[in-house]
Amino acid sequence: RALVQVAAPSLQPILKCALSTGMRRGELLALQWRDLDFTRREIVVRPETEKAGRGRVVPMTNSLLGVAGTRWPLRGQRRSGV
C-alpha cells in the first residue's frame, strides 16, 4: 500500500491491479477495456499475453472493481489500453 501511495497518480491503478491480482507486467500492460467483464467481475488474460499461452480468467476484487470503475468514463480519452 505504501508503494501505491507514493507512486505517481497515473501509475496507481496499474499498481493496484498488480498487487490485487498477481498479474505479470506484460499481462497488465496488454490489458484493453474489452478484457474487463464488470458483470462477471473478471479480467480476461488473452492467450497471446499470458506466459503459458493458454490465457486465463482472473477475478476482480472489490477494490479493483472500484479502480476500474473510476477509469471507465475516461476510456475514450486514451488509446485502446486500460
pLDDT at 24: 92
pLDDT by 10s per residue, the chain, length 82: 788 889 998 888 888 889 889 999 999 989 988 999 989 999 999 999 988 999 999 999 888 888 877 665 555 555 545 5
- Sign, CA dihedral 46-62-2-76, equals positive
